[in-house]
Amino acid sequence: MTNVKYTKLSLAIAITIGLGLTGCGPKIISAPTLETNKDVDYKSNKLANDNSNTHMYIYLDSAVIKPVVINIDNLIFDQLAKNTYGYYKIAKGTHWIGVLGAENSSFMCINSTTNNNLLYEVDTYMGIMDARVEFKPGTVEDMKDDDLKQIKQKNQNIASSLYTRSAESFSVEINGDDEYLLEIKHNIDEKINKLSIDKGKGLVIKLSTLSKEDGNQFGRYFWGLTPEAEKYKASIKIKSEFLINGQKVDEMISVKELTGGIFGGGKSNMYSLVSEEVVSYAICKYFNEKFPAIRESK
């Protein structure tokens, strides 16, 4: 099983970075806990062959400071902490999965027609403020570990997310002329252009701000990795509307926070995370681009 182990050396490095760059002292690294399902453990009775359904398991077995958010098809939102997993019964077809960490995000656009058991791991490795995440195929051996417990879930059934008509072109519009919206728009344009998708009105992505807090960069720098830095965090909440032939067909809400970083952290990372989330979802659902849609490099 893959584990991120915070050894004495890596902890010393983290303390040095925390003292020297992010403020006065480091936050103690501890794994958050989540309520697990004590009544049903799907891996014990569904991991065997079942030709009638496609079963998907997403697990996390390594250390994080904050729970990792799992977004499936922009419909289901769950959280994973160390040694937890989510179980989903999914319709055959195309699905988008976003793993949204504190420092970065990782995405997949998958097709569930070829396998009855889909296993995926949220792997982690050391970042500045928290573990960074990587979403990748998992193993049966990992899933059979007794330490992995299923999280409490409200919804486990997922229909196909594939839009029936693929868009042939795209454009991005913003509501307002704020610099951060222009930056997000530029990031989206740049990322989709790399996929050689034509500019046009096939798919229109309209961006608007639901909320924005600038926080205090000096406060984030001074308090560093301590809980006190939360008081000075920056945050942004962006709504992305998707229109086909002038008709709204979908929307996505992206929420990002900044609680620290080198010299208090720069807000451009929040804007970059928003653009990556929107682009990976749009090209999977409306342009049928398979993984890797967006993939973080170490």
Give the pLDDT confidence of 2-53 residue by residue, as tens digits.
443 333 334 333 433 443 343 433 332 334 555 655 555 566 655 655 566 6
Q: What is the pLDDT of residue 43?
A: 65
Are 143 and 247 within one domain? no
pLDDT at 204 over 80: yes
Give me the helices (H) in 135-292, please. 140-143, 179-193, 217-223, 268-287
Same domain (yes/no): 32, 143: yes
In a domain, 3, yes or no: no
Q: Is the pLDDT of residue 172 over 90?
A: yes
Q: Do 253 and 281 belong to one domain?
A: yes
Handedness of CA 127, 130, 131, 135 (dihedral sign): negative
Q: For residue 69, give its domain range.
A: 8-158
Whether residue 297 is contained in a domain is answered as: no
Domain ends where: 132, 158, 184?
158
Q: Are residues 129 and 17 in the same domain?
A: yes
Please report the pLDDT score of residue 71 as a whole number.
Answer: 94
Give the SS3 label for residue 275.
helix
**Is 296 contained in some domain?**
no
The per-residue pLDDT for 2 is 42
Residue 164 domain-assigned (yes or no): no
Residues 107 and 220 in one domain: no
The number of folded domains in the chain is 2
Is residue 16 one of the residues assigned to a domain?
yes
Distance between CA atoms of 59 and 87, rounded to whole angstroms? 9
Q: pLDDT tens-digit profile of 132-153?
A: 899 999 988 898 888 888 888 8
Does the residue 248 lie in any domain?
yes
In a domain, 293, yes or no: no
Specify the pLDDT at position 298: 36
pTM over 0.85: no
- Confidence label for 297 from pLDDT (cuts 50, 70 and 90): very low
Same domain, 30 and 147: yes
Question: Helix 268-287 vs helix 179-193: angle between axes, to the nearest 10 degrees?
Answer: 40
- Note whether 33 and 148 are same-domain residues: yes
Same domain for 137 and 179, yes or no, is: no
Whether 256 and 199 share a structural domain: yes
Q: Which of 61-75, 185-199, 221-235, 247-261 has the lowest mean pLDDT?
A: 221-235
Mean pLDDT within 46-67: 77
Determine whether 16 is exposed, middle or buried from the number of CB atoms within 10 Å of its CB (0-12, 13-18, 19+). Answer: exposed
> Is 251 in the same domain as 179?
yes
Q: What is the predicted pLDDT for the residue at 292?
A: 52
pLDDT in tens, 224-268: 666 777 777 888 999 999 999 888 999 999 998 877 665 446 678
> From the CA atom positions of the chain, what is the Rg in Å?
20
Domain end (from 158, 188, 217): 158
The answer to whether residue 235 sits within a structural domain is yes
pLDDT at 257: 85
Mean pLDDT, range 179-197, rounded to an integer: 89
Say yes or no: 143 and 214 in one domain: no
Residue 294 confidence (pLDDT) above 50: no
Among 124, 158, 192, the domain-final residue is 158
The three-class DSSP label of residue 283 is helix
143/194 same-domain check: no
Tokens for 222, please give them: 């001074």
CATH number of the domain where residue 226 is located: 3.30.160.150
Q: Is 21 helix (H, G, I), strand (E, B) or coil?
A: helix
